[in-house]
Amino acid sequence: MAERTHTYHAEADVLSADLILPLKSEVRPQAYVNLPGTGGYLAERAEDFRLESVISFESAYTQVAGTPSDKPNGGWVTLATAVVEGLNVIDVVTADRIVAQISAEHPKEGYVPKVTFLGTRFEGLRIAGVPITPVIDLDFCGRYPGSNTLYLEDGEFRARVEKHRSTLGSDVDVRKPYSGTMPDSTELRKQWTAYIDPDPKKQGPRPDAFVTTSLINSIKVDSGKLPGTPYGNVLVVPKFGKIFLAELRVECDRFELTMIRLQMGCFVAGTGSATRSMVNGGTRP
């Protein structure tokens, strides 16, 4: 049997935006890093970013790494981290520190990695000056389903996704990013089996199945009155827009975490995101 090889994949950035009001401007991903397929370590830093008085941060850094595991019979470990400090979006969304971190360990045998979000957090998050605490479930992906069972197939993971959806209320615009159909397990297994077939002539395309969910099911207001309404991980703030917290996109072998995503309208209009980390990777045969 041919020796197994692994191709690494990880990305991270701290801020991007596409603004229409009060000025038209594109903020390309800041401190962006992309890990080579051969692995290794890369890091970027950024200091004192400012787009007029609309978006700014004091400092930020990203890192990505891919190395063989040091455990007996271990496989391959991938890490992606994005950290921003002193974030300020038009004095409505501010935070002392935000960390998005994902680590995945691909097995020596099989294809499905173990995933952890350890280190991910919000520190000093405020909405219009009101301190809030998003309750983060670092174990959202639950127990490891096994090296040959996709998270999208796993009953416990699918139940957590449905539980998150139940927290979103009835607002169509709030629910829309999370309302995609859960992949059919039987059809997904057929597609995945074809994709990992060791015979290149029999291999099928990578399945395009995915779900978008969140590590957060609730938001606590530490003091004061929140200038908006929370729905699960989403804050709807009148005259500002929607704030989506700790969004997680899960594909068959890819995990992407965005700690803040903004859909803004009114005195500021446009979209943006802060602290995004993604890990992937592929093993053959």
Percent of the chain with pLDDT over 90: 92
Instruction: Tell me: cis bond preceding 22? Omega within 30 of 0 counts.
Output: yes
Instruction: Specify the number of domains making up the chain.
Output: 1
pTM, two decimal places: 0.96
Span 81-138, pLDDT tens digits: 999 999 999 999 999 999 999 999 999 999 999 999 999 999 999 999 999 999 999 9
1 falls in which pLDDT band (50, 70, 90)? low
Span 197-234, pLDDT tens digits: 999 899 999 999 999 999 998 999 988 899 999 999 99
CA nearest neighbour of 42 among 71, 17, 9? 9
Residue 79, strand partner residues: 65, 103
Span 130-183, pLDDT tens digits: 999 999 999 999 899 999 999 999 999 999 999 999 999 999 999 999 988 899
Per-residue pLDDT at 36: 97
14-24 average pLDDT score? 95
268-273 average pLDDT score? 95
CA 138 to chain centre: 12
Per-residue pLDDT at 269: 94
* Domain range for 166: 5-284
Q: Which region holds residue 196: left if phi is over 0, alpha if psi is between -120 and 50, else beta?
A: alpha
Structure tokens belonging to residue 25: 């401007």
